[in-house]
Amino acid sequence: MCQLLGMNANTPTDVMFSFAGLATRADEHKDGFGIAFFEDPGLRLFVDHHSARVSPVADLVKRFPIRSGNVIAHIRKATQGRVALQNTHPFVRELWGRYWVFAHNGDLKGFAPRLHGGFRPVGDTDSELAFCWLMQELAKAHADVPPISELRHTLAELLPIPAAYGTFNCLLSNGQALWAHCSTQLHWLARRHPFGAAHLADDDLSVDFGALTTPGDRVALVATQPLTRDEAWTAFAPGELRVFVGGQPG
């Protein structure tokens, strides 16, 4: 299946180190990659249907320190839908005057909801279909963007529905927070003062965050599998939904 990476921080932060760790796993997950950076109400989206190991677009992301408070990245191992740009995660839609970004790790069998609003898939993946359905149901449940706590409650009711059709690990953000839902495998990590050094689990690369941060910085990461070998990653429980705001788990 695919691999996910999410980041939420209380101050704009780059993810070059974490994305480099994710990209090392793209030999197996070679059917495309994408990454979305929120910047206030704006969004930078980079996608390529080539592997993150060889894509010049991925190389740009590894080298260019784009700073954001919320980031979602994905490397694809296709299960449904051909290898094509329109099937590359993360997917983006607008709702309530905000961008929403979604990425999925898993495989849904027989999930065929009726779509009747303005949310339609462009590609032919189960992931984009589930995202369009989720946006449709959120739009039905709320007339305008609700508080984060209320959105968490609504998502807790909605996300188990597609999850009943298979594996549904996913990340969702509207630039205000990062929601993460675990079906089978997902991990999270909170970095805060005092910051130390970290080493990638799959590459001989390390960074000393203490030299790059201030005492007030807080950064939360979510990944399919831990990206570093010397930090205290916490596994999600199956069915667990977490929301990250200001670099802290909720």
Q: What is the pLDDT of residues 47-61, one digit of tens each?
A: 999 999 899 999 999
CATH of the domain at 89: 3.60.20.10
| Type of residue found at 237 | A
pLDDT interval class at 79 (50, 70, 90): confident
**Other CB atoms within 10 A of residue 118 CB:** 12
Q: How high is the pLDDT of residue 57? A: 94
Mean predicted lDDT score pLDDT of the chain: 94
CA distance 157 to 144: 18
Which residues does the annotation mark as catalytic?
A: 2
Q: How high is the pLDDT of residue 157? A: 98
pLDDT interval class at 196 (50, 70, 90): confident
**Residue 186 DSSP code:** -
Name the residue range of residue 140's domain.
3-249
Q: How high is the pLDDT of residue 212? A: 82
Instruction: List, in order, residues 6 or more apart from 106 with CB less than 8 Å away.
Output: 1, 2, 127, 166, 167, 168, 169, 170, 183, 184
Q: How high is the pLDDT of residue 34? A: 97
Structural domain total, the chain = 1
Counting beta carbons within 10 angstroms of the beta carbon of residue 174, is it exposed (0 to 12), middle (13 to 18) or buried (19 or more)? buried
Mean pLDDT of the region 158-164: 98
Q: Is the pLDDT of residue 26 over 80?
A: no
Mean pLDDT of the region 109-125: 94
Within 97-223, strands assigned E span 98-105, 169-173, 178-181, 187-192, 197-199, 206-208, 218-223
Handedness of CA 159, 162, 165, 170 (dihedral sign): negative
Compute CA distances 120 → 124, 125, 130, 133, 243, whole Å.
10, 12, 10, 8, 26
Q: How high is the pLDDT of residue 1? A: 66
